[in-house]
Each structure stands twice: as structure tokens, then as C-alpha cells.
């Protein structure tokens, strides 16, 4: 499915990013990993057959272009960019100050823009009809009270996806976004524990939030990412696809609360 494609996945030292890297490599891609922790990247690289990796904090102003340039230099080309890296600290209205806003938007919205800009320039230069997949969230539609700034950043990403895709459609470079639902990543497990929930919290989630009996697994999300990264999803572009177990828009949660 991705034979011969060079794929850069940001935030791929764990969670959805790592699961996507494993799946992409299994589908024939030459994967390049990215993360901020060297120890996690080394472990992820070992899990993906020794895949090369680039370390960098996307909150810094010059990181995105440097990471893109280093990724291009690995194999001399990039066919696919997966903008997966993101942070989701809890921020209610009262905690949504300028510092929180700047850091969350720097990683979740600014870096995908700058990475995409550099990679698109490379694709144009090389005549590559590539694919960019942005990993969003169902929170982009409104979010929850303690994820205010995160939800705003994913809404911005959604608008960016459609805007860039519209401008690039004639060139054959595709840009799509996956709005992902609640997923059982390592970071989510740590977040729930930090909020005082028991170790087995994922086994007692109300059906209104997990109609299939559990929330999504990273591997399940990864298969969708690989599809949208590959030519199997061509020529579709500019789409926002919800990776969730229920219809999100128009869903009446209160009608399902017993």
C-alpha cells in the first residue's frame, strides 16, 4: 500500500504515531520517526526495524523547518507527512492564559503549518504528488470545558487542512484530516491516572462514551492514517474524516444517559 513511499510521522515515539509508523513500515514505507525524547525515540526505532529518527521540540520557532529538512535529507525525498504531534494539557477557561495558548498552538497548529509548507515546497520541486495527513480530534467541533485551548487548536488545524487542500488540488498534492475520538494511548493512561482515576479506568467507561464496550486503540486509528496517506484514498483531498465509533455531529448525548 505504501511501497516505495518515504513517510515522516511527527510525534511517533509512542501512541498513535508509533502505531502508524509500525503499520506504515509493514505496508512497505520507509518511515522516519520524530519525537522530543531521545530514549523514547531509540525504543521506537528498535520497534520499527531500526527506522531513522529526528529529535526536536516543535514548540521552538525553528524546529519545524529543521525537522522537515533533516527528514528530506535521509532519503532525498518525502512522499508523505503525517502531522501527528500534539499536546493536550487540561485548560479550563480560567487556566487558558497566554502562556498555555502559545505553547499548545505552537505544537498543535503552528508546527503542522510550517512542516506542511516546507514539505509542500519539496514536493513541488521534485514533482511529487504527495499526501499530508493531519491528526485532529473530534474536540475540534466544540470540545470539552477542560480542553478549551486544545480544542481551539484542532479547530484551527481543520481549517488549515481544508484551506491548503483547496489551493493544492490542481497540483495533485492531497491534504486530509482525521478527527480522532477517545483513544487508549500511553499519554491518555497517564493523564487519567494523574486525575485520580483507578488503574483499570478503561474497563468501566460508560457506554455513552464507548458504545462498543471500549475506546479506540492506537492500532485501529493507525490503519485509517495509513489508508489516507496512501494512494488508496486518492484522489480525495480536503476532507475531514471522523475516526469514532458513533456519529459525532448531531449526536444527542443526553438522550443516551440512563
Q: Does the bond joining 235 to the residue before it have cis omega, within 30 degrees of 0?
A: yes
Domains and CATH numbers, the chain: 6-256 (3.40.50.720)
By the 8 A CB rule, do 158 and 109 touch? no
Please answer whether residues 40 and 13 qualify as being in contact, where contact means their C-beta atoms are separated by less than 8 angstroms: yes
Residue 117: per-residue pLDDT: 98
Q: What is the pLDDT of residue 251?
A: 62
- The dihedrals phi and psi of 242, each to the nearest 5 degrees, come to -85, 120
Q: What pLDDT score was predicted for residue 143?
A: 83
Picking from 76, 1, 74, the residue whose alpha carbon sits closest to that of residue 34 is: 74
Backbone angles phi, psi at 178, to 5 degrees: -105, 115
The pTM score is 0.92
pLDDT at 110: 98
Confidence (pLDDT) at 50 = 98
Q: Can you read off the three cell numbers belonging to residue 112?
A: 503542522
What was the pLDDT predicted at 29? Answer: 98
For the chain, what's the residue count? 258
User: What does DSSP assign to residue 91?
Assistant: B
The pLDDT value recorded for residue 258 is 46
Q: Give me the tens of pLDDT residue by residue for the chain, a chain 258 residues long.
A: 999 999 999 999 999 999 999 999 999 999 999 999 999 999 999 999 999 999 999 999 899 999 999 999 999 999 999 999 999 888 888 888 999 999 999 999 999 999 999 999 999 999 999 999 999 999 999 888 899 999 999 999 999 999 999 999 999 999 999 999 988 888 888 888 877 888 788 887 877 778 778 888 999 999 999 999 999 999 999 999 999 987 766 665 555 544
Model pLDDT, residue 193 = 81
Q: Supply the pLDDT for residue 24.
A: 98
Query: What span, in angstroms and rounded, lies between the C-alpha atoms of 143 and 152?
Result: 8
Positions annotated as catalytic residues are 150
CA distances from 199 to 46, 102, 204 (A): 28, 32, 11
Amino acid at each position: 500500500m505504501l511501497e516505495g513511499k518515504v513517510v515522516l510521522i511527527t510525534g511517533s515515539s509512542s501512541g498513535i504515531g508509533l502505531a502508524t509508523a509500525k503499520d506504515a513500515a509493514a505496508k512497505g514505507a520507509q518511515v522516519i520517526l520524530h519525537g522530543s525524547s531521545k530514549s523514547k525515540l531509540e525504543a521506537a526505532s528498535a520497534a520499527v526495524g531500526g527506522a531513522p529518527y529526528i529529535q526536536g521540540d516543535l514548540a521552538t520557532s525553528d524546529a519545524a523547518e529543521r525537522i522537515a529538512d533533516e527528514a528530506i535529507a535521509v532519503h532525498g525525498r518525502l512522499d508523505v507527512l503525517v502531522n501527528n504531534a500534539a499536546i493536550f494539557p487540561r485548560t479550563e477557561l480560567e487556566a487558558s492564559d497566554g502562556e498555555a495558548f502559545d505553547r499548545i498552538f505552537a505544537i498543535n497548529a503552528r508546527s503542522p503549518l510550517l512542516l506542511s509548507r516546507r514539505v509542500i515546497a519539496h514536493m513541488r520541486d521534485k514533482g511529487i504528488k504527495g499526501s499530508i495527513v493531519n491528526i485532529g480530534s473530534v474536540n475540534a467541533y466544540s470540545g470539552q470545558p477542560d480542553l478549551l485551548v486544545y480544542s481551539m487548536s484542532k479547530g484551527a488545524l481543520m481549517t488549515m487542512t481544508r484551506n491548503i487542500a483547496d489551493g493544492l488540488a490542481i497540483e495533485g498534492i492531497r491534504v486530509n484530516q482525521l478527527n480522532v475520538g477517545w483513544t487508549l494511548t500511553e499519554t491518555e493512561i497517564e493523564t487519567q491516572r494523574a486525575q485520580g482515576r483507578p488503574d483499570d479506568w478503561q474497563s468501566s467507561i460508560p457506554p455513552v462514551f464507548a458504545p462498543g464496550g471500549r475506546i479506540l486503540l492506537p492500532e485501529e486509528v493507525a490503519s485509517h492514517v495509513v489508508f489516507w496517506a496512501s494512494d488508496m484514498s486518492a484522489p480525495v483531498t480536503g476532507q475531514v474524516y471522523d475516526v469514532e465509533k458513533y456519529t459525532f455531529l448531531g449526536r444527542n448525548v443526553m438522550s443516551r444517559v440512563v
